[in-house]
């Protein structure tokens, strides 16, 4: 089993410690460490990566934000092949992700985390949540519904079915980069 310290070490290896002994929002102890790094992301420009870890309770939070705030934006691409899994995703903590044909929406909440990944990585995150829901399901009906959703995601990853992938950010600091991506400015910020 990988320990908490080794996971933290891997995440912050290229980051600078900027605050120590801050108050943890979960346990209230003065054991929160905050790290950050400036990144230059191809296609997106300068970004700041931030991570916070509590050495007492293990709480963690991470975010990636482009440094330049822009007008609200929506990116859309149709996922229809395994090649589309490589499309780069930069999601800020204010962005929503939608796969309408699969009935999937990911809305930002108070502890939403930004990340840099690709479409396959986003689908893996969704699968992780679905497997947790499968374990926690209280009825056969719930389990069957989750199993069908897992099967749909797997078929999408293999290019057997297609779905739109929509990334919407009212602050305009998220992005998709790859072949076939359509960009629209949001009318209301």
Q: Is 149 helix (H, G, I), strand (E, B) or coil?
A: helix
Handedness of CA 7, 10, 15, 17 (dihedral sign): positive
Domain with CATH 2.20.25 in the chain: 4-66
Residue 7 pLDDT exceeds 60: no
Domain with CATH 2.60.120.1040 in the chain: 73-185
Residue 145 pLDDT exceeds 50: yes
pTM, rounded to two decimals? 0.70
pLDDT at site 33: 93
pLDDT band at 44 (very low <50, low <70, confident <90, very high): low
d(CA 159, CA 152): 11
Task: Check if the beta carbon of residue 169 is closer than 8 Å to that of residue 73.
Answer: yes
Q: Mean pLDDT of all residues in the chain? A: 87
pLDDT at site 12: 59
Residue 70 pLDDT exceeds 80: no
Q: Which CATH class is domain 73-185?
A: mainly beta
d(CA 174, CA 91): 5
pLDDT at site 29: 95
Would you state the structure tokens that stand for residue 22, as one six-digit string? Answer: 């801050």
Four-way CATH pick for 4-66: 3.10.450, 2.60.120, 2.50.20, 2.20.25: 2.20.25
């Amino acid at each position: 089993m990988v320990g908490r310290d080794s996971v933290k070490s891997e995440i912050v290896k290229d980051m600078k410690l900027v605050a120590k002994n801050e108050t943890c929002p979960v346990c209230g102890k003065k054991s929160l460490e905050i790290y950050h790094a400036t990144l230059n992301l191809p296609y997106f420009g300068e970004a700041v990566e931030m991570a916070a870890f509590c050495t007492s309770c293990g709480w963690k939070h991470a975010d990636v934000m482009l440094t330049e705030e822009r007008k609200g934006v929506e990116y859309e691409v149709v996922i229809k092949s395994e090649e589309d899994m490589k499309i780069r995703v930069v999601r800020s903590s204010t962005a929503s992700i939608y796969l309408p044909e699969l009935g999937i929406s990911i809305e930002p909440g108070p502890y939403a985390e930004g990340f840099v990944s690709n479409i396959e990585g986003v689908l893996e995150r969704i699968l992780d949540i679905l497997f947790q829901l499968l374990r926690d399901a209280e009825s056969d009906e719930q389990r069957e519904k989750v199993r069908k959703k897992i099967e749909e995601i797997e078929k999408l990853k293999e290019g057997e079915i297609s779905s739109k992938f929509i990334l919407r950010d009212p602050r305009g600091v998220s992005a998709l980069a790859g072949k076939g991506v359509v960009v629209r400015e949001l009318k209301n910020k």
